[in-house]
Amino acid sequence: MALSRLSLALGHVRRQFVSFGIGFAATAIGLLALLCRHRFSEVDCVGYFGLYLLSYLFLGFSFFHLINLNVSSLRIRILKEYLRHAPGALPDQVLLDRYNVSDMLDARLERLQSGNQIFFSNGRYFARSGGVQVIGGLFTFLRRLLLSP
Amino acid sequence: MVAFLTAFGLLFASFAVHVVLWRVRVPRSQSSALLLIFLIVPVTIGAAMWTGARFQMTPAISGWHWVGIFVFQAGATLSYLVIYTGIEEESPSLVIIRALGRAGCARSELAALVTEERFVQPRLRSLGSGGFVELADGGRRLTRKGQQTARAATILAGIFNIRDSA
pLDDT tens-place values along chain A, 149 residues long? 666 666 556 666 777 788 889 999 999 999 888 888 887 788 888 888 999 999 999 999 998 888 887 777 888 888 988 898 878 888 888 888 877 888 888 988 998 888 888 889 888 998 887 777 788 788 888 888 998 77
Query: Among partner residues B2, B139, B166, which is closest to A91 by beta-carbon distance?
Result: B139
**How many domains does chain B fold into?**
2
Q: Compute the nearest-CA separation of A61 from chain B (Å).
A: 6
**Within a domain: residue B67?**
yes
Do both B6 and B84 map to the same domain?
Answer: yes
Predicted local confidence at residue B164, as pLDDT? 58
Do both B74 and B135 map to the same domain?
Answer: no
Query: Is-contact B68 A53, C-beta < 8 A?
Result: no
Query: Among partner residues A58, A95, A136, which is closest to B75 by beta-carbon distance?
Result: A58
Predicted local confidence at residue A125, as pLDDT? 92
Say if residue B163's pLDDT is above 80.
no
Say if residue B16's pLDDT is above 60.
yes
B117 touches A: beta carbon within 8 Å: no
Query: Is-contact B25 A149, C-beta < 8 A?
Result: no
**Within a domain: residue B155?**
yes
Query: Among partner residues B1, B100, B150, which is closest to A47 by beta-carbon distance?
Result: B1
**Within a domain: residue B81?**
yes
Domain final position from B88, B115, B142: B88
Predicted local confidence at residue A6, as pLDDT? 62
**Between chains, do B106 and A127 touch, taking CB under 8 Å as contact?**
no
**Within a domain: residue B104?**
no
Average pLDDT, stretch B60-79?
90
More confident residue, A132 or B166: A132
**Between chains, do A88 and B141 touch, taking CB under 8 Å as contact?**
yes
Do both B80 and B137 map to the same domain?
Answer: no
Question: Residue B76 forms beta bridges with which residues?
Answer: none
**Between chains, do A86 and B141 touch, taking CB under 8 Å as contact?**
yes
Which residues in B lie closer than 8 A to residue A132 (C-beta atoms)?
A: 97
Q: How confident is residue B136, by pLDDT bands cut at 50, 70 and 90?
A: confident
**Within a domain: residue B48?**
yes
**Within a domain: residue B41?**
yes
**Within a domain: residue B116?**
no
Do both B84 and B136 map to the same domain?
Answer: no
Do both B7 and B82 map to the same domain?
Answer: yes
Q: Compute the nearest-CA separation of B20 from chain A (Å).
A: 9
Do both B9 and B84 map to the same domain?
Answer: yes
**Within a domain: residue B114?**
no
Do both B10 and B62 map to the same domain?
Answer: yes
**Between chains, do A117 and B97 touch, taking CB under 8 Å as contact?**
yes
Which residues in B lie closer than 8 A to residue A56 (C-beta atoms)?
A: 75
What DSSP character marks residue B25? -
Domain final position from B37, B56, B88: B88
Do both B75 and B153 map to the same domain?
Answer: no
Average pLDDT, stretch B139-164?
86
Predicted local confidence at residue B166, as pLDDT? 47
Domain ranges, residue B156:
130-166
B86 touches A: beta carbon within 8 Å: yes
**Between chains, do B78 and A71 touch, taking CB under 8 Å as contact?**
no
For residues B94, B97, B101, B103, the Cα torsion angle rounded to the nearest 10 degrees is 140
Do both B80 and B11 map to the same domain?
Answer: yes
Integer Cα distance of B88 and B91 in angstroms? 9
Do both B82 and B143 map to the same domain?
Answer: no
| Site from B26, B80, B93 to mutate, A interface, most A CB atoms within 10 angstroms | B93
Domain final position from B63, B88, B113: B88
Predicted local confidence at residue A3, as pLDDT? 62
Question: Residue A116 forms beta bridges with which residues?
Answer: none
| Count of all residues that appear for chain B in the document | 166
**Between chains, do A108 and B160 touch, taking CB under 8 Å as contact?**
no
